[in-house]
Amino acid sequence: MHTAAQPLNKDKVVTQQHALQDPIWVRWGLIAIAISFISLFICVPLGLVIFQAFSKGLQAYWSALSNTDTLSAIKLTLLVAVITVPLNTLFGVVSAWAITRFEFKGKSFLTTLIDIPFSVSPVISGFIFVLLFGAEGWFGKILVEHDIKIIFAAPGIILATLFITFPFVARQLIPLMQEMGNQEEEAALSLGASGWKTFFSVTLPNIKWALLYGVLLCNARAMGEFGAVSVVSGHIRGMTNTLPLHVEVSYNDYDVVSAFASASILAALAIVTLILKTALEWKQANR
Amino acid sequence: MSILLSDISKNFGTFAALNHINLDVPEGELVALLGPSGCGKTTLLRIIAGLEHTDKGRVIINGQDKTEQTVSQRGIGFVFQHYALFRHMTVFENVAFGLRVKPRKDRPSNDVIAKKVHSLLELVQLDWLHNRYPDQLSGGQRQRIALARALAVEPSVLLLDEPFGALDASVRKDLRQWLRNLHHELHVTSIFVTHDQEEAMEVASRVVVLNHGQIEQQGSPSDIYDHPANAFVSKFIGQTNIFDLDEHDNDWLQTAGLLQPSQQGKIAHVRPHDIIIKKTDNHHTAPATLKDWQHLGALIRIELVKNESNGSDAPVFAEMPNDQFKQLELTKGDKVKLKIRQAHWFH
Ligand SMILES: Nc1ncnc2c1ncn2[C@@H]1O[C@H](COP(=O)(O)OP(=O)(O)O)[C@@H](O)[C@H]1O
Ligand SMILES: [Mg+2]
């Protein structure tokens, strides 16, 4: 109200522009602080990982990666991602669809539930599975009787990762689908398209970049998760170690090259994720 | 094909959006569904299309009960208020969509589809835009593409929800005329929703007035204008002066010898063009003073104030053709005599 009543004269505009422009030393000072912070906490550690990984030469790096324990950790990590990412993609699309397209009781409760893995400490999440499926857990007896191993085995790791990564896709889709509304889908239906046809030819093309973005984040977390997986895995070398766990185990065994070589793979994954993420963001903005 | 709605009711929670709607649209007709915002027009249209369920009543199209059919089974063309074009498809693909999703045995070949799409785009005069995406079109163009898309599947009936609601006045005017002509050409049974009475009267051969989920009146535009069934319709269709003979306007009207209370009711609605004014020098008996006037193109709208002090101070509006007003040589502040040609009476 106050500013609207003031006459808009030229002088005023000019002084306002000056007010927005801080002195040069302030600007450069702030930029320098930002850059040194990023270097200190991101570039230096990243450089260190690479330096340590190659500290004994290319040969040592290569043999650290090709030793059976490392290979099995890579395999398990890939297995976990291959199972959890598609399942959580499906789950994310289904729950986003339900939340944005239907009216039902307990809708806001479901929306809150989706966020739980983000708000609960991963260690606690892992612990829940131990309480459920561990030898002393609720289902422990039945599992032992039928000779099924979940905790300290791959199924436990997959379950924990599923739990940890399930919000990523849904969280990307819900706001987008809410904003888009369902008019295009209604139009497709009124033109005689079936529900599936409508989903694949109208909904999916509209949400594909957000969906890919969610899948990417989901994958990065599925491969990089430490806390929850650490609780349920039991750290059995060559059996239940994923890459992040393998890094820790090797480091604790003073096998520096192996630890940092594995870490370099995770770092590379992070960098690739970052590049794809930027590309997808650009794509989404220029749709 | 004809549309028959029998006793349609719809509630949202405890709110009654539609109340016992009965409507019969004969084959080939273009009917306007007219009513203020929030009166249930969109809801009724969505129920006919199958996008919304009725709580009660039947939807019968061409003699067939369609109430239980899904939207994709009904074969109804729906043009949405905000176009709802597929944003990731070109104009061509948008129009072709309904043909491409047909079951394989009914699906035309690509050549036939292309031919049909281009002929529809020519019909809406936008074939030159076939390669564009929806966000590269103006509002009026999008609306016409939406119409072409709905027509592509040769729908049994066409439903249009405020098709020109989001467009600017000049584009609206053009499109109204264009829609009317298109309907003459195609003769597809259509229901056209609008909250603009002028638009309804101009486009449709029959107007259905809806208020608070109920049909207030239906008939030809002239029927509704000349014989409004109730006070709501009279107020909603065109401008009207309202005089309540039980309250403050009584004295003024009677002193001026303008209106006597009628058997039919106590509230008189008088159209502006039913008030004739004449200049007078007799300052004591003159019932009104000319306050101001506005040009409405060919017509002049004259704003009058009542001279009787105990009347309500609402202005009275009269309308007359431009040249007639010039002949009267009136200026602001002139005292005038009035004659009321006719009034509609309501309780
Ligand atoms: N899905 C819904 N849930 C609750 N109320 C609704 C819903 N859709 C419409 N309404 C209500 O029903 C009334 C009629 O709405 P609508 O048919 O959209 O009116 P119109 O198209 O005539 O402006 C409005 O008061 C609106 O708030
Ligand atoms: Mg509406």
Min Cα–Cα distance to chain A from B78, Å: 7
Query: Does pLDDT of B45 surpass 70?
Result: yes
> What does the pLDDT average to over A162-170?
93
User: Apex CA B159: angle with CA B133 and CA B129, to 5°?
Assistant: 20
Determine the distance in angstroms separating the CA of B245 from the nearest CA of chain A, rounded to an integer: 45
Arithmetic mean of pLDDT, B91-120: 93
Backbone angles phi, psi at B220, to 5 degrees: -70, 160
- Find which of A224-233, B282-291, B321-330, B333-342 is predicted with most confidence, using mean pLDDT: A224-233
B257, pLDDT greater than 80: no
B70: chain A residues, CB-CB within 8 Å: 189
pLDDT tens readout for residues A56-72: 888 988 988 888 888 99
From chain B, pick out residues whose CB is under 8 angstroms from the CB of A283: none
Residue B77 clears pLDDT 70, i.e. is over it:
yes
Strand partners, A91: none
Looking at the CA of B36, name the nearest ligand. 1
Residue A16 confidence class, pLDDT cut points 50, 70, 90: low
3-state secondary structure of A262: helix
Per-residue pLDDT at B264 exceeds 80: no
**Closest atom of ligand 1 relative to the B52 alpha carbon:** 1
Q: Where are the domains of chain A?
A: 1-53, 58-286
Confidence of residue A201 (pLDDT cuts 50, 70, 90): very high
- Of the pLDDT bands very low, low, confident and very high (cuts 50, 70, 90), residue B311 is low
Q: Which of A146-155, B249-258, B292-301 has the lowest mean pLDDT?
A: B249-258
Q: What percent of chain B has pLDDT over 70?
A: 94
What is the distance between the alpha carbons of residues A176 and A172, in angstroms, rounded to a whole number? Answer: 7
Sign, Cα dihedral of A7, A9, A14, A15: negative
Cβ–ligand 1 contact at B38 (below 6 Å)? yes
Subunit contact B84:A193, Cβ cutoff 8 A: no
Looking at residue A19, its pLDDT comes to 65
CB B163 within 8 A of CB B144: no
Using the predicted structure, report yes or no on whether residue A13 has a pLDDT greater than 50.
Answer: no
Which residue has its alpha carbon closest to ligand 1 atom 21? B42
Query: Residue A11's pLDDT band (boundaries 50, 70, 90)?
Result: very low
Give the whole-angstrom CA distance, residue B153 versus residue B144. Answer: 15
**pLDDT, position A286:** 73
Strands B267-270 and B15-25: unpaired
User: Residues A106-153: pLDDT tens digits?
Assistant: 888 988 889 899 899 999 989 988 888 888 888 888 888 888 888 888
Averaged pLDDT, B326-347: 83
- Measured from the Cα of B35, ligand 1's closest atom is 22
Predicted pLDDT at A3: 40
- State the Cα–Cα distance between residues A92 and A215, nearest whole angstrom: 9
Band of pLDDT at residue B248, cut at 50, 70 and 90: low
Task: Write down the pLDDT at residue B131.
Answer: 92
| Average confidence (pLDDT) over A207-212 | 91
A121, A139, B119, B135, B152 from B112: Cα distances, Å: 60, 62, 11, 27, 12
CATH ID of A58-286, from 3.40.50.620, 1.10.3720.10, 1.25.40.20, 3.30.365.10: 1.10.3720.10
User: pLDDT at position A143, please?
Assistant: 84
The helix or strand, by DSSP H or E, that contains position B39, with its residue range, turns out to be none
- The ligand 1 atom at the shortest distance from the C-alpha of residue B45 is 17
* Pocket mutation for ligand 1, best pick of B39, B44, B210 (most atoms within 8 Å of C-beta): B39
Is the pLDDT at A12 greater than 70? The verdict is no
CB atoms within 10 A of CB A256: 16
Q: What's the gap in Å between the CA of B145 and the closest CA on chain A?
A: 13
> How high is the mean pLDDT of chain A?
87
**pTM, 2 dp:** 0.81
Tell which B residues from 12 to 71 touch A, by Cβ distance under 8 Å. 49, 51, 70-71
CA distance A31 to B207: 67
HSE toward the beta carbon, residue B255, CA cutoff 13 A? 16
DSSP string, A98-121: HHHH---TTHHHHHHHHTHHHHS-
B224 has a pLDDT exceeding 70: yes
**What was the pLDDT predicted at B137?**
93
Q: For residues A129 and A231, give the distance between their C-alpha atoms in angstroms, rounded to a whole number.
A: 9
